[in-house]
A and B are shown apart, each in its own frame.
Chain A
């Protein structure tokens, strides 16, 4: 049975493997270059002050990570959509469309076993692909994480290309495509719907992670350089007055225009506003919530996808044409 699954879907498997390999090669070259550069140019001490050495190093590292990072930024949208459309949608739709289900279902293998080989075999391959993506991105990011340059996996630029989130997206999209295939029984409509739902899910969840838990708050009454700890996920910052009433910065600026002046960039201005009873609030998720958030997003995707997949499997196993 696994032979049949492989023979029917080897094109998808090979293309995905090649694309992952190409991406791996690009990241390897880029990452190795960055590691070399960092080894030679990283300032010995942390850059507290903005020295030219420091800023030159930071700018160069930023430039190097940006060039490939922009490419990676498309992956959370494109990769699941492609997996859903090319792995999932044709899986059953093509059989129905070409009538080959009538051939395969009348061999000596039960429909249940045939379907299990397809779904488990390809589902495992898709999951491995997603994990492989994270597996090649992680060391690339690590190559950039040389102080004073800091790479934060919790950053929304990287959150969906590391950990288990890519695998969850890929597997959900695959199951979605399969389910669309059993619903429409034709490849093209199934692909179109899969692409549309993947895009909707991507944009729907784009800013969702910051709401996966109640953020921690830091209320500043004195001037601090950086209220949120390293590698945490920034959520929001705003001003409150003594009574705890939330202010936008415009409202605060208007209220303080007389006493503190208008140059908000200075520390003096900040001190002045603190002395008038205003407090700055910063909301963030600490770095140790990374895995919690990864699993939350995986659950948000996989629970509905697997429920849909269950319905699709039941539909397919029910003996009707």
Chain B
């Protein structure tokens, strides 16, 4: 492993981890692991995300994204480690359940219920239910209250499911592939109404996707899961600012690569393109090299191809 691993300084510590950051921590996982029948879906995941973020959880199929989200939603319990939401352990207590809303991948709703009955369901099962908000959202979306759920289009069902999650008035909204199985128009509409809800309610949102481009505009925090481990966790702007595509003569590439962590390295006979973590403002002294910015997609792809490379925040966590 590379020097990147030095940030994983808590490996030896078994003590509680506390956040030193100014804003409260919304999501906190410490050495989180989950095993299903002998296979580890998640291994040793430690991360901490401040409140008020829209977090993109990205990773290839089978990386453990759903498991990760189910753990935060309290649907499953970890095999090892701990999950906290706003400092409180996740679990089967009404108060803990009330803070987190979850939108499962298939956006399950009771097909035989009318939209109004689904709202009644939300009302009966959530003390903090905001009925006015729910009705207003559905009115704006032109979804008739007396229609059966099974008769709605896929996009409308997704909107009803999202409405129920938002009207619960949670502090954290967890969504597993919210845009999967939606046509492009519905994708756009769901994303837009999600962002409107975020702006109104100061929600912290985690949403997963295996398509990075779905999330680029909406999210300000990126978590990349790969093979059951956290590969990247950081602010999107900071990640983009600290990674550069360096292009220069192939014969000088080894020398350049020795000076900084290189995530991807593609060389032709003459030219080398290195995607490297340069740190903010690292100057390029050599005029034969040019540095250009990278897109989030390029960055994610480069990391996913190098499962041993990690980019985790400089410790905002310490052992107390």
Of the listed stretches B106-114, B254-262, B302-310, chain A binds: B106-114
Cα-based distance from A243 to B52 in the complex (angstroms): 94
Contact of A108 among B106, B109, B128 (CB under 8 A): B128
Task: Determine which residue in A111, A113, A319 has the highest number of CB atoms from chain B within 10 A of its CB, and name it.
Answer: A319
Cβ contacts A1-12/B at 8 Å (1 or 0 each): 101100110000
Q: Is A44 interfacial (CB 8 A cutoff)?
A: no
Of the listed stretches B92-100, B130-138, B232-240, B268-276, chain A binds: B92-100
CB distance from A105 to the nearest CB of B (A): 6
Cα-based distance from A147 to B128 in the complex (angstroms): 67
Q: Is A266 interfacial (CB 8 A cutoff)?
A: no
Q: Is B125 interfacial (CB 8 A cutoff)?
A: yes
Chain A contacts of B288 at CB under 8 A? Answer: none
Chain B contacts of A105 at CB under 8 A? Answer: 74-75
Q: Is B122 interfacial (CB 8 A cutoff)?
A: yes
Cα-based distance from A281 to B215 in the complex (angstroms): 87
Query: Is A321 a contact of B76 with CB atoms below 8 Å?
Result: yes
Query: Which chain A residue lies CB-closest to B126?
Result: A108
Cα-based distance from A1 to B106 in the complex (angstroms): 24
Q: Is B124 interfacial (CB 8 A cutoff)?
A: yes
Cβ contacts A22-41/B at 8 Å (1 or 0 each): 00000000000000000000
Query: Is A106 a contact of B97 with CB atoms below 8 Å?
Result: yes
Q: Is A292 interfacial (CB 8 A cutoff)?
A: no
B contact residues, range: 20 to 34
Chain A contacts of B124 at CB under 8 A? Answer: 1, 3-4
Q: Is A104 interfacial (CB 8 A cutoff)?
A: yes
Chain B contacts of A320 at CB under 8 A? Answer: 76-77
Q: Is B205 interfacial (CB 8 A cutoff)?
A: no
Cβ contacts B148-190/A at 8 Å (1 or 0 each): 0000000000000100100010000000000000000000000
Chain A contacts of B168 at CB under 8 A? Answer: 107-108
Q: Which chain B residues have a beta carbon within 8 Å of chain A's beta carbons?
A: 70, 73-77, 91-94, 97-98, 100-102, 104, 106, 108-111, 113, 117, 120-122, 124-128, 161, 164, 168
Known: A99-B104, A110-B97, A320-B76. 6 other contacts (CB 8 A): A3-B120, A4-B125, A7-B117, A7-B121, A99-B106, A319-B76
Question: Can you pick out 30 interface pairs between chain A and chain B where the beta carbons lie within 8 Å of each other?
Answer: A4-B121, A4-B124, A4-B125, A7-B113, A99-B104, A99-B106, A99-B108, A100-B109, A102-B75, A102-B102, A102-B104, A103-B104, A103-B108, A103-B109, A106-B73, A106-B75, A106-B97, A106-B101, A107-B125, A108-B97, A108-B126, A109-B94, A109-B126, A110-B93, A110-B94, A112-B92, A113-B94, A319-B77, A321-B75, A321-B76
Nearest 6 pairs of A and B residues by beta carbon: A107-B125, A106-B102, A99-B108, A108-B98, A102-B104, A108-B126
